[in-house]
Amino acid sequence: SKAAAEQSTHPSSKHPSHRSPKMRFFTLASLITAAAAFAPLSTHNGIAQRQATSSAALAPAPAAQSCTQLSAILQDAQLQDKYYFPEAKETPKVLGGVKIGLRKLVVVTGASSGLGLNCAATLAKTGKYFVVMACRNVEKGKQVAKDIGMPENSYTVMKLELASLQSVRDFVANLKAFKSARPLTHLVCNAAVYKPADKTPTWTDDGFEMSMGVNHLGHFLLVNLLLDDMSKAKGARCVIVGSITGNTNTVGGGLVYPRADLGELQGLEKASKEKVAMADGKSFDGAKAYKDSKVCNMMTIAELDRRYHKDTGIVFSSMYPGCIAETALFREKRQWFRKIFPLFMKYVTGGYVSEVEAGERLAQVVDDPQCTRSGRYWSWNGKANTVAYINKDGDLTGAGGSGGEIFENDQSDAVRDLPTAKKMWKFSREAVGLAKKEMYKGGKLEEE
């Protein structure tokens, strides 16, 4: 793709940090509106819908219903609380080495829609990559791959339910059976859930709050289980998608409440023993839970780089693709918001980034030669001043929107907080039950 082929130098000289008060006001106003997409909702349609569904399921059954029908109703009600059933695990695919050929092997999570799908398609269409689309719904993944025009024999779809640690382990086993001795070259951790409408937590199969469980802990386990294999590949890269909403040095992440704040990780510390609603141990907030999970994503990349880059040679990166106003991540937002927000970002602020361009940007971090520096957080200096960052001098800098060039961005002090990052790593490892023998070199590089 055009984005994957582009190379550029740091663009900061093109965007002076000092702007007129009028420009600063417009930038702040547009940013706050854009970032408000990640603020909690004042109404809770999702909860009401689920409550209505539950009420219907528990309503008295007509006398004419058979025992079999009643049993099926009860089973359906129970299934709502579980996302993955090991007894129904996917049959491993084999002889993948023949299909892969001389291409690089890349796994993309959440590849059945939006950013993940467009990244997978961009990479597949280069002819240089064989893509494993890691999806919750395999049949949907197969269909959308055809719909978007991914070349035949450039991909396969495999089951991955990040709300289940057993599914993560089964996916890794199936992937290894499929690729045989060929090492995994690239891993893209993109899948995410966002539940701002929920008044109470939704839990994964392992008892984690859903946003933290899927966005962070599922990917944390996945990366660690694949590190040893990836270390055998030449030019391996691991990318975890970040967000400005979890980066408090941005206007979007710093001025729109609730702000991301891991506290002392009192909640995550207990996650291996009991259900906890939030990483900081406080009461549940769906919007903040998402932001906290993205902080953990970016911290994970920093820790992977610090612990393993030198020994493995793997390039670890995070990135923010821009404001994808039409993303399915906003599916729990009100209908009017989902119609107006893309138009506002496109025609008022200029901060709009399409799913196609966002996918190309993610693919660029996987493919571009200039993205070989590990531990970096990548952004784009698009045409609009709507994804601004507060630099180390306290000035508003950077830009967002479509177009522009890639550059290395600054992460917030919270993301770079080493003592907290070390605790995050320790508590995450305990929560997912990651044994040393499962880790790179049997965990010999782990700090005690």
Neighbouring C-beta atoms of residue 57, cutoff 10 Å: 12
Element (H, E) at 337: helix 335-344
Angle at the Cα of 13 from the Cα atoms of 8 and 17, rounded to 5 degrees: 130
- Is-contact 296 425, C-beta < 8 A? no
**Strand runs (DSSP E) across 142-284, as ranges?**
155-159, 186-189, 237-241
Please report, for residues 5, 65, 236, 339, 396, the alpha-carbon distance to residue 2 in angstroms, rounded to integers and kept in the order given.
Answer: 5, 60, 22, 29, 29
Integer Cα distance of 182 and 163 in angstroms: 28
Place of tokens 């859930």: 193
Place of tokens 């891991």: 262
Integer Cα distance of 272 and 432 in angstroms: 7
Paired tokens of 192? 């995410």
Q: For the chain, give me the number of helices (H) and strands (E)?
A: 17, 10
Q: How far is CA 289 from the centre of its chain?
A: 13
Integer Cα distance of 297 and 347 in angstroms: 31
- Is-contact 158 73, C-beta < 8 A? no
> 434: closest CA among 319, 336, 300, 243?
300
Q: Which residues contact 227 (CB under 8 A, 6 or more apart)?
A: 304, 308, 312, 314, 439, 440
**Whether the bond into 62 is cis, omega within 30 of 0:** no
**Active-site entry in 129, 290, 308, 377:** 290
Q: Which residues contact 443 (CB under 8 A, 6 or more apart)?
A: 435, 436, 437
Place of tokens 């990052």: 421
Paired tokens of 202? 């939704």
Please report, for residues 117, 142, 152, 155, the alpha-carbon distance to residue 149 in angstroms, rounded to integers and kept in the order given.
Answer: 11, 11, 9, 11
Active site residue 352: no
Give the residue numbers annotated as catalytic, written as ranges: 290
